Amino acid sequence: MKRIITTGILGVVLTAIIYLMAVLVINRTYLSGKRAACWINSQYQRTGGQEYRICKDWKGSSDNDLLVIGSSHAYRGYDPRIFQRNGIDMYSAGSGFQNTLASFVLLENIFIPKKNDIVIIDLFDQTFEGDGVGSYARLIQNVTSYTAATELARRQPDIRTFNSLMCRIFSDQSRIEVPDEPGYLYNGYCPKNDTAVISSSEIRKIPSFNMSFVKYLKETIRLIKSQNAHPIAVSHPQPKTLTNETFHKEFLELVMPVLQEEGILYLDYNSNHNLNNSEHFADSNHLNQAGVELFNSKLISDMKEHGIIQ
């Protein structure tokens, strides 16, 4: 037994040394301007892009601001200029396919809301599926706080998030490998001006929701409340021909009990809108600027109607 334990410990130590050396090599070697690690697989993400930009531009909030958190809907669908015109300082802390677990960690460690801030939790049904590891990998590599990166890896204990964290530690954080999203403006907002040809025959698959994201929705709401800020939930418009009613209906069955239990306002624009597929959408998921103008005006008006803003 003693020999098994001794050899086992030696094996673990050797494995750790080789692993760390390899992590160092693949994160300090660049091929075509990209870290060697990033050529290997998607758990190793490059520095830069939207995740990097939203953290870099965040200067903290002042009272009565509006913070939007969520997936790409959050950074493509809420225009700070429109909110500014209505006297609201808005910041989008959205990142690609960001789910509620990631939102929770970001709100806890980076985008900490202040008293009386309004926090819009953008609920995109598709982010409640899967394991979210791709999104975590990008965030772990790019968030400005080591605590947030470690928290993401800790709350989703997976060999891939562990690897992402190790890569962040061993990579040169000052070397930006990915530029900002094309058209990036400020305060996290990144509009799209394209128009899309959206196939009406496209059908979404049957949902397979990850229940831990529902749990984190509740945690996120409670975290915002604990900061004396005001959470509201919003579902961004989706092209109507693509909106699979069953999918969104099942999603609502999943989240409504949480939203009702927590007593927060939910504005669902998923298919409840008059936007036109070919004029107001940039692709099958995102609004273009014309769509954003209409959606944001409607949202602001509805928020006023519900007494959320003056």
Partner 1 sequence: MLIASCVFYMFFIPYYILILFITILIDYIAGIWIARTEGRKRKIYLWISIVSTCLVLFVFKYYNFFIDNYNDLMKLTGWNYSLSALAFILPIGLSFHTFQSLSYVVEVYRGNQKAEHHFGIYALYVMFYPQLVAGPIERPQNILHQFYEKHSLKYEDVSAGIKLMIWGLFKKVVIADNIASLVDIVYDSPENVSWYWLLLASYLFAIQIYCDFSGYSDMAIGAARVMGFRLMENFNTPYMANSIREFWNRWHISLSTWFRDYVYIPLGGNRVSKWKVNRNLFFVFAVSGFWHGADWTYVIWGALHGLYLVIENVLRKFKWFVDYLLSKRFIVRAVRTTLLFQLVVVGWIFFRADTLLDAQIILSRIFSLGGSDLSMPTDFAMMGSFGLAFKFMLVLLFLSLDPFLHRLTRNIYDSKTTTFIRLLVYSFLAAMIILIGFWGDIEFIYFQF
Contact 243, 270 (CB under 8 A): yes
Pairing state between β 66-70 and 118-122: parallel
Is residue 7 a contact residue for partner 1 (CB under 8 A)? yes
Residue 262 burial (CB count, 10 A): 16
Contact 233, 267 (CB under 8 A): yes
Identify which range of 37-45, 141-149, 194-202, 229-237 contacts partner 1 by CB under 8 A.
Answer: 37-45
Is residue 9 a contact residue for partner 1 (CB under 8 A)? no
Among the listed residues 14, 185, 203, 256, the single contact to partner 1 using CB under 8 A: 14
Which residues on adjacent β-strands are paired with residue 90?
66
> Is 161 or 296 the residue whose CB approaches partner 1 more closely?
161
Is residue 158 a contact residue for partner 1 (CB under 8 A)? yes
**Residue 266, CA atoms < 13 Å, CB-side half-sphere:** 18
Contact 88, 63 (CB under 8 A): no
Q: Which amino acid is at 282?
A: A
Q: Nearest distance from residue 101's CB to partner 1, in Å?
A: 18
Identify which range of 14-22, 190-198, 219-227, 295-303 contacts partner 1 by CB under 8 A.
Answer: 14-22
DSSP assignment of 75-87 equals HHS--HHHHHHTT
Is residue 163 a contact residue for partner 1 (CB under 8 A)? yes
Is residue 129 a contact residue for partner 1 (CB under 8 A)? no
Is residue 10 a contact residue for partner 1 (CB under 8 A)? yes
DSSP assignment of 26-54 equals HHH-EETTEEHHHHH-TTS--SBHHHHHH
Token pair 């597929």 is at which residue? 277
Ramachandran quadrant class, 14 (left: phi over 0; alpha: psi -120 to 50; beta: rest): alpha
> Is 64 or 284 the residue whose CB approaches partner 1 more closely?
284
3-class secondary-structure state, position 63: coil
Identify which range of 8-16, 66-74, 268-276, 284-292 contacts partner 1 by CB under 8 A.
Answer: 8-16
Pairing state between β 34-35 and 30-31: antiparallel
Q: Nearest distance from residue 163's CB to partner 1, in Å?
A: 6
> Is 202 or 261 the residue whose CB approaches partner 1 more closely?
202
Q: Nearest distance from residue 31's CB to partner 1, in Å?
A: 5
Is residue 3 a contact residue for partner 1 (CB under 8 A)? yes
Which residues contact partner 1 by CB under 8 A?
1, 3-4, 7, 10-11, 14-19, 22-23, 26, 31-32, 34, 36, 39-41, 43, 158-160, 163
